[in-house]
Amino acid sequence: MKAWVLERQGPVSGHPLQLRQRSIPQPGPGEVRLRVATCGVCHTDLHVVEGDLAAATLPVVPGHQIVGYVDALGPGSEARLPAGVVPGGRAGLPWLYQACGHCEYCLRGEENLCEAPRFTGYHVDGGYAEYVVAPAENLVALPGRYPDIEAAPLLCAGIIGYRSLRVAGVRPGQRLALFGFGASAHLTLQVAAAWGCEVLVFSRQEAHRRMALQLGAVWAGEAGQAPPFLADAAITFAPAGSLVPAALGVLRRGGTLAINAVHMDAIPSFAYDRLYWERRIVSVANATRRDAAEWMALAGRIPLQVHAEAVAFERANEALQRLSRAQVEGALVLEVGGR
């Protein structure tokens, strides 16, 4: 099979991914194999490739927004398939590849906080390849209304955006501020709008601000601009620490700022009055299987406009370069194979 392999971390400008021929993997006990149809290109992939996240294993095949078709079953795996996933059918594989199952967090159903997790495309080979194997129970059923290209961003951008709404405590009818407007934020905005929330969007890209208004934001501007009202909650999506004090500055008293980032540069010092009045800052770490299932059910009910641009499999390095330059409206998705 063809696979894009990261053998050494480095700037995407240097084309660090290498296209290799590899043996098709075989599923072990409790595992299934997916024939990959599409794989979303995520900022986390960028952090893995460039070394913002220290290498967990090398060489590795990146990619964790995987849409594929179940084409082989390991011993005992069929009984562990989640509802809606069947042999030969379509399924998704997200960022959380496997949790230990026995630490205190896993036992509480908080496997996103597992003490010994393994992540797709980071600890184990991911979806920048024609085939991938995974634990059966960590697959997720996908809403039928979205074709393979549009389904891929649901598997990280969508799931983590949904968890960010939960962590921020957003309730229907509230006011919400989003900082950064890429693959995750453009889906999160639509959910909040469907809940009757008034959404503010802050982005340095004019094209992103236009898209935000088209998708239901009531106002869009740049960080530092004064919005027409303060928000009950805020979510930052860009890995820029400078956005933290900016986001606190648009929060009402008692509001929560959720930081949706697996990696972030330094947060600058700021005056204490930005945090005072019981404003809260909380990070968003990964997602649970429950998050994934709830999100997919929600995405099946809300007619989301998924802005996903298909990219030829052979252009994986170029896709990462475009992402690093913020030359994307919505999400980029690798076309790996057909149905």
- Quote the CA–CA distance of 335 and 310 in Å, as a whole number: 6
How confident is the model over 214-235, as pLDDT tens digits? 999 999 999 989 999 999 999 9
Residue count of the chain, please give it. Answer: 339
Q: What is the mean pLDDT of the chain?
A: 96
pLDDT at position 178 is 98
The residue written with tokens 């309730």 in the block is 171
pLDDT at position 23 is 97
Q: Show me where the domains of the chain are located.
A: 2-157+286-335, 159-283
From the list 239, 270, 272, 244, the residue with the least C-alpha distance to 177 is 244
- Quote the CA–CA distance of 61 and 118 in Å, as a whole number: 14
pLDDT at position 97 is 97
In this structure, which topology does domain 159-283 adopt according to CATH?
Rossmann fold (3.40.50)
pLDDT at position 295 is 97
Cβ atoms 245, 130 nearer than 8 A: no
Architecture of domain 2-157+286-335: Alpha-Beta Complex (3.90)
User: Is the overall model pTM greater than 0.85, yes or no?
Assistant: yes
Q: Residues with Cβ < 8 Å from 21, sequence gap 6 or more?
A: 1, 2, 3
How confident is the model over 165-214, as pLDDT tens digits? 999 999 999 999 999 999 999 999 999 999 999 999 999 999 999 999 99
- Quote the CA–CA distance of 72 and 92 in Å, as a whole number: 15
Q: What angle do CA 146, 283, 212 make, to 5 degrees?
A: 45
pLDDT at position 338 is 62
- Quote the CA–CA distance of 328 and 153 in Å, as a whole number: 13
pLDDT in tens for each of the 339 residues of the chain? Answer: 999 999 999 999 999 999 999 999 999 999 999 999 999 999 999 999 999 999 999 999 999 999 999 999 999 999 999 999 999 999 999 999 999 999 999 999 999 999 999 999 999 999 999 999 999 999 999 999 999 999 999 999 999 999 999 999 999 999 999 999 999 999 999 999 999 999 999 999 999 999 999 999 999 999 989 999 999 999 999 889 999 999 999 999 999 999 998 888 899 999 999 999 999 999 999 999 999 999 999 999 999 999 999 999 999 999 999 999 988 988 999 999 865
Cβ atoms 97, 123 nearer than 8 A: yes
Calculate what percentage of the chain has a pLDDT beyond 90.
Answer: 95
Burial per residue of 290-307, b for 16 or more beta-carbon CB atoms within 10 angstroms, e otherwise: ebbbbbbebbbeeebebb
* 3-state secondary structure labels for all residues of 85-129: CCCCCEEEECCEEECCCCCHHHHCCCHHHCCCCEEECCCECCCCE
pLDDT at position 339 is 58
